[in-house]
Amino acid sequence: MNVTIKLDDTLCREARHRAVDADLSLSGWIAELIRERLGLSTASGRPGKTLLEMLGDEKAGGTDLEIPPLLEKPRPAALED
């Protein structure tokens, strides 16, 4: 969707510099700011935190990560002996 916004020259110039520094277009940079402000992740578009953010967030509580057991692969009969 296209949206028109009005920015003063100084703000627009600074925003363009920040977008270039982030290797984004001005539109992409502004969209990313809006996503961040709304708490939306860029990957799924759903609210949430990345695993790295959760691990560093003391308020998230004890996030236990369970490592699933490795499944033992059957060995070929020729290697049994």
Question: What residue spans define the domains of the chain?
Answer: 1-50
19-73 pLDDT, tens digit per residue, is: 999 999 999 999 999 988 888 766 545 555 666 666 665 565 555 666 666 666 6
- What pTM was computed for the model? 0.50
Angstrom distance (rounded) from CA 63 to CA 57: 10
Task: Measure the CA–CA gap between 16 and 81, rounded to whole angstroms.
Answer: 69
Within a 10 A sphere around the Cβ of 24, how many other Cβ atoms?
A: 14
Q: What is the pLDDT of residue 17?
A: 95
What DSSP designation does 58 have?
A: G
Average pLDDT over residues 3-12: 93
Q: How far apart are CA 52 and CA 19, in angstroms?
A: 24
Residue 45 DSSP symbol: S
